[in-house]
Structure 1
Amino acid sequence: MRIAVVGCGAMGSVYAARLAAAGGYDVQVVDAWADHVAAINADGLRLVGPDGEHRATVRAHTAPPADPVDLVVLAVKAADAASAAAQATPLVGPATTVLTIQNGLGSAEGVADALGADRLAVGIASGFGASLRGPGLAHHNAMRALRFGAYAGLDPTAVECVAAAWRAGGFDAAAVEDIAAMQWEKLICNVAYSAPCALTGLTVGEVMDHEHMGPVSRAAATEAWKAARALGVGIDVPDPVEHVRAFGAQMPAAKPSALLDVEAGRVSEIDVINGAVPREAAKVGRTAPVNATLTALVRAREARL
């Protein structure tokens, strides 16, 4: 299988390095950071984590080559997914599957518009912590679950083929029928921590029982849970607070990506995380004031960066 990872940031680097190391996959990456691309082409893509350091041989480009592949993986930020999809068209042939993996809700729609809904798979990554330490060098401190599902009309065998590639790369990966339910189950966790951590600088473990932010965090999760149920999404979450507690207990020292973005002076993905809840709730005549307020506060903070 020929695979092109578009967006070789922290998570894209983890995916590309592990897939290349699995054997049997011809992996290339596309990223706008010229120094990163040059380092990968010169010395390989290095990945450091709990299982040691590995170096993978992949080809790197600053722009997509006109050379269709079997699988295009869009590993960019949610706000960049639609534009990355449009730029990736030289990599897409008649039989190409496209996989988009972003936080939150809403980015897949733009990818489907650009490249076609029937070729699109949606991925959910949970329990991951990754960062770029320099050109050609990525670090990860956890690699838990990846789940994949069809966005619309993609053949289930194509989704399973994607999951098989990730399993070969050492990931806990599986194809699922109801990807929307899994997106919401993750979103409930994300809204509990993303905005509260971004606003306070607290870690995941510090937020839940914090005197002031704990009630806000729990309210954000409960509000998202109620929205999902009102929308008829088949989530398997009897108690949203217990759900997010179990999630947070797995990585108490972690900083959500929204906090990392704020600390780095970048605009976060808060619009597709906490911001997604009021948008989705409005579809069924509901409001989500906790998540709407948290989103507005993060946006205000970002405006000062």
Structure 2
Amino acid sequence: MLVSSSVGSPRAHRSGRLKIGVYGAGAIGGYLGLRLGARAEVTLVGRPWLANRAAELCAVDLEGQRHENPVRVTTDAAELAQVDVCLVTVKGRDTAEAGSALARVLRPSALVVSFQNGLRNAERLRAALPAQVVAPGMVTFNVVVESERCFRQTTSGPLCAGRVLGSGLGTLERLEAVFGGVGLPLTLSSDIGNLQAGKLLLNLNNGICAATGLSIQASLLSRPARRAFSACILEGHEVLVRSGRRPARVMALPPTAIARLLTLPDAVFVRAARPLFTAHPSAKSSTLQDLERGRVTEIDELSGEIVRLADEAGLSAPANTEVCRAVTALTRRAARAPLTPEDYLTPEALLERIQRQRHRE
């Protein structure tokens, strides 16, 4: 089924504005597109429910301000044929399919930016889109979709893209200006690979939240959950370094310092972490959101990436392996019936599994 709808004033779709497409407009893609609609001509390509709700969509930033900007919403990738920029926000497992679909419709001059989790998606898109310039990017904040209408930013964090050379640079700088104009500063970096590695370490909390069923805020208020997260970060950092990467600082502290901070007693951690990170009580990791909807998760792109790199380097990754096992088991269970609170591990049980596996190895 192909659905196409527009929301907002047609005056927004005037010449001279950057034409931006968002392919895979879920939580992150929908939020970015709705924010960018204030300064650009935006087309969102997503599921039918998104197009059916087009007139009701809004974005809410971390301060609670609503943004209701004109965008075009469709299920048909062909409507991206004239865009200057295409933001790809699909799950990692869908990247190859997305690249194939976009190869049929994008102009050679279109800039493609991968705003996806994991380390390999820009490479996958380049393989599928040899005629286009592909820039890796990263979104470090969290978004939840409320009632299939409201895209709410629920955590703080920067937005980055890799600086490209040649013909795509001018378009990337125009995109940077549009992001800045809507209050979402986009940092262009020549070290995006190491920034993505640093972000991957922070994203390992996705698996902790999914395995335990905890919101992001609740996971950070649970010392056992934090200790499990810390173990995953330190293990992942060693694996990434041994694999030739240098995970860069994404937040105010480098990943290893954050790992040490996580193990502190609750009262000390809360005081120390408050200036570094903001999380809305409703913030849930994307992996937990997928479990709750009975969908396949991205755990293979997160904790699974650490396990894969460890195997390639002849190392072990017991903490991240245990998280993968727990989330995979829950994914199978969720495919049969909606999960209940009793299905999830307690933070204490997850930490115990990690410690037991580490002692074995």
TM-score class, shorter: 0.7 to 0.9
Is 1:299 matched up with 2:316? no
Query: How much has 1:302 moved relative to structure 2?
Result: 0.4
Deviations 1:177-203 (A, max 9, x none): 111111111111111x11221111123
Unaligned runs of 5+ in 1: none
State the alpha-carbon separation in 1 of the partners of residues 26 and 284 from structure 2: 17
Runs of 4+ in 1 over 6 A off after TM superposition: 151-154
Is 1:122 matched up with 2:174? no
Aligned residue identity for 1:53: R
State the alpha-carbon separation in 2 of the partners of residues 170 and 207 from structure 1: 29
Q: Percent of pairs identical after alignment?
A: 27
Query: How much has 1:216 moved relative to structure 2?
Result: 2.3
1:149-228 to structure 2, matched below 5 A, reads 149-150=162-163, 155-191=168-204, 193-208=205-220, 210=222, 212-228=224-240
In the alignment, what sits opposite 2:290? Answer: 261
Q: Helix, strand or coil: the match of 1:235?
A: coil
Q: How many equivalent pairs are there?
A: 298
In the alignment, what sits opposite 2:106? Answer: 92
In the alignment, what sits opposite 2:27? Answer: 10
State the alpha-carbon separation in 1 of the partners of residues 176 and 34 from structure 2: 16
Deviations 1:137-181 (A, max 9, x none): 433334541000058987544443332222122102110011111
Aligned residue identity for 1:5: V
**Structure 2 contact 86–110 (Cα < 8 Å) conserved:** yes
State the alpha-carbon separation in 2 of the partners of residues 185 and 243 from structure 1: 16
Query: How much has 1:301 moved relative to structure 2?
Result: 1.2
Q: Helix, strand or coil: the match of 2:21?
A: strand
Query: How much has 1:226 moved relative to structure 2?
Result: 0.8
Deviations 1:215-272 (A, max 9, x none): 3221111011111221232334353514767598432743211112212222211110
Query: How much has 1:299 moved relative to structure 2?
Result: 0.7
Q: Helix, strand or coil: the match of 1:303?
A: helix
Aligned residue identity for 2:208: P
Aligned residue identity for 2:230: R
Deviations 1:118-141 (A, max 9, x none): 61011111123331422x543333
Aligned residue identity for 2:159: L
Deviations 1:20-60 (A, max 9, x none): 112xx221111132x421332xx264223434323222222
Distance 1:281 1:159, change over 3 A: farther
Is 1:146 matched up with 2:159? yes
**Structure 1 contact 160–174 (Cα < 8 Å) conserved:** no
TM-score (norm 2): 0.74
Of 283-292 and 293-302, more deviation after overlay is shown by 283-292
Deviations 1:50-75 (A, max 9, x none): 34323222222211126232111111
Unaligned runs of 5+ in 2: 1-17, 249-253, 263-268, 335-361
Deviations 1:82-130 (A, max 9, x none): 2122112344112111111111232333212111386101111112333
State the alpha-carbon separation in 1 of the partners of residues 221 and 146 from structure 2: 31
Q: Helix, strand or coil: the match of 1:202?
A: coil
Query: How much has 1:11 moved relative to structure 2?
Result: 1.4
What's the RMSD between the two structures over aligned residues?
A: 2.7
1:18-33 to structure 2, matched below 5 A, reads 18-22=35-39, 25-33=40-48
**Structure 2 contact 85–171 (Cα < 8 Å) conserved:** no
State the alpha-carbon separation in 2 of the partners of residues 230 and 54 from structure 1: 44
Q: Please say which structure displays the higher CA radius of gyration.
A: 2
**Structure 1 contact 44–56 (Cα < 8 Å) conserved:** no
More strand by share: 1
Distance 1:194 1:39, change over 3 A: closer
Is 1:251 matched up with 2:268? no
State the alpha-carbon separation in 1 of the partners of residues 155 and 69 from structure 2: 19
Distance 1:261 1:153, change over 3 A: farther
**Structure 1 contact 261–268 (Cα < 8 Å) conserved:** yes
Aligned residue identity for 1:18: R
TM-score (norm 1): 0.86
